[in-house]
């Protein structure tokens, strides 16, 4: 029976596993060099050099950082809940990876082309808060626990607005399949209606990924490092990798929902444009959104916590609720519903 199973599904399993390892390898390399890119861009904005001594132009700095974290001792607090303490960073990193199963980087270049891809992504991104809550609670530290609670309330607050933003996109494209979202025809009216929601989404993903100016769970001044203050070595590295992998994931979601995915920007075409592979356009667009992450970190001071909550509940939530009605009414009035 095992031989029959292998003969029937062996080739499919081989290509699926190969696809998984390729995605994982590319993602890990991208995360490593995103840290290099961030440090270089912020250095240029602040008139510094950034990494420049490890390898040519500092290109081997991410490898040196990884080796340093790998060789450090992992310290477990005496009164911590050790199983939960260790599982928390693993869960955060795992969830940042599995979400890529439904991300199409080019036409038919996707591991699982499911019809509810957007719901899958939304569910996985919502689960990410559990790793942070577990880390804050298991550390047996008040500072870490407060950081975990902050992160939970912050992510819940902005996920409500993100959900309503995604609803407006679904109204315009009429599908939960991510490939169909990219390929759907969008009129000029739809693009105009979705533009304010793209701005809301860009700001919300900053809060969703705990990035500056919304990095309140890691507030050094009042929480001495926040939910991961007790972590060191590879357990800290897993949180670090998870944060940057989530940045790339949210950038990919923005590109798929609002920026045409792997298609050439602005619908332009031509001999040399059509020759460029779709995955190149996808990577360039994701890089542009990642630049926005870095630019925001280098430019804006950290919000106070009351300002963060006010923006989420008193500004974004009412605006997105009203805008869902506006988009629905405009599509019905112009007979443009898909």
Q: Provide the pLDDT confidence category of residue 271 given band limits of 50, 70 and 90.
A: low
Q: Provide the pLDDT confidence category of residue 168 given band limits of 50, 70 and 90.
A: very high
Q: Which residue has the tokens 């009042």?
A: 222
- Determine the pLDDT at residue 80: 85
Residue 136: φ, ψ to 5°: -65, -40
**What is the distance between the alpha carbons of residues 89 and 230, in angstroms, rounded to a whole number?**
12
- Determine the pLDDT at residue 249: 93
SS3 106: strand
Task: For residues 197-207, give the mean pLDDT.
Answer: 93
- Determine the pLDDT at residue 164: 93
pLDDT exceeding 90 applies to what percent of the chain? 36
pLDDT at position 165 over 90: yes
DSSP 264: P
**What is the distance between the alpha carbons of residues 190 and 36, in angstroms, rounded to a whole number?**
37
Q: Which residue has the tokens 């870095």?
A: 294
Task: For residues 268-274, give the mean pLDDT.
Answer: 67
Q: Provide the pLDDT confidence category of residue 324 given band limits of 50, 70 and 90.
A: very high
pLDDT at position 269 over 70: no
Chain centroid offset of residue 94 CA: 13
Q: For the segment 9-62, what is each residue's pLDDT rounded down to a tens digit?
A: 667 777 788 888 888 888 989 999 999 999 999 999 989 998 998 888 889 999
Q: Provide the pLDDT confidence category of residue 270 given band limits of 50, 70 and 90.
A: low
- Determine the pLDDT at residue 327: 93
Q: Provide the pLDDT confidence category of residue 90 given band limits of 50, 70 and 90.
A: very high
Q: Provide the pLDDT confidence category of residue 253 given band limits of 50, 70 and 90.
A: very high
Task: For residues 86-104, give the mean pLDDT.
Answer: 90
Task: For residues 132-138, give the mean pLDDT.
Answer: 89
Q: For the segment 203-252, what is each residue's pLDDT rounded down to a tens digit?
A: 999 988 888 888 887 776 666 777 888 888 888 899 888 889 999 999 99
**What is the distance between the alpha carbons of residues 316 and 96, in angstroms, rounded to a whole number?**
25
Residue 56, CA distances (Å) to 26, 59, 60, 198, 228 in order: 22, 6, 8, 38, 32
Q: Provide the pLDDT confidence category of residue 199 given band limits of 50, 70 and 90.
A: very high
Residue 24, CA distances (Å) to 17, 18, 239, 280 in order: 10, 10, 16, 18
**Which contiguous run of DSSP H or E holds residue 145?**
helix 142-173
- As given in the structure block, the two tokens for residue 292 are 């926005």
Mean per-residue pLDDT over the chain, rounded = 87
- Determine the pLDDT at residue 214: 87
The pTM is what?
0.92
Task: For residues 117-128, give the mean pLDDT.
Answer: 86
């Amino acid at each position: 029976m095992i031989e029959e199973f292998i003969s029937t599904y062996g080739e499919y399993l081989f290509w699926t596993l190969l696809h998984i390892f390729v995605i994982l390898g590319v993602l890990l390399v991208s995360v490593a060099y995103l840290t290099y890119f961030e440090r270089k861009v912020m250095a240029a904005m602040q008139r510094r050099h950034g990494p420049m001594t490890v390898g040519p132009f500092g290109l081997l700095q991410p490898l040196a950082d990884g080796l340093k974290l790998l060789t450090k001792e992992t310290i477990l607090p005496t009164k911590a809940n050790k199983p939960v303490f260790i599982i928390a960073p693993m869960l955060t990193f795992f969830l940042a990876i599995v979400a890529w199963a439904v991300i199409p980087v080019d036409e038919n270049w996707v591991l699982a082309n499911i019809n509810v891809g957007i719901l899958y992504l939304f569910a996985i991104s919502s689960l990410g808060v559990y790793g942070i809550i577990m880390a804050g609670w298991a550390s047996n530290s008040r500072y870490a626990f407060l950081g975990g609670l902050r992160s939970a309330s912050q992510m819940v607050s902005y996920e409500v607005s993100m959900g309503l933003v995604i609803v407006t996109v679904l109204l315009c494209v009429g599908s939960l399949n991510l490939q169909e979202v990219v390929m759907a025809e969008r009129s000029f009216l739809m693009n105009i209606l979705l533009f304010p929601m793209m701005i809301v989404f860009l700001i919300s993903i900053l809060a969703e990924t705990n990035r500056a100016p919304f990095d309140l769970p890691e507030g050094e001044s009042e929480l001495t490092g926040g939910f991961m203050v007790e972590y060191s070595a590879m357990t800290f590295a897993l949180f670090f990798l998870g944060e940057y992998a989530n940045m790339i994931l949210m950038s990919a979601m923005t590109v798929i929902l609002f920026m045409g995915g792997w298609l050439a920007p602005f619908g332009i075409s031509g001999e040399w444009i059509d020759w460029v592979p779709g995955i190149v356009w996808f990577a360039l667009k994701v890089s542009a959104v990642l630049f926005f992450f870095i630019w925001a970190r280098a430019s804006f001071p950290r919000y106070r916590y009351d300002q963060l909550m006010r923006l989420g509940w008193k500004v974004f939530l009412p605006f997105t609720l009203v805008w869902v009605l506006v988009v629905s009414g405009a599509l019905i009035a112009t007979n443009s519903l898909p």
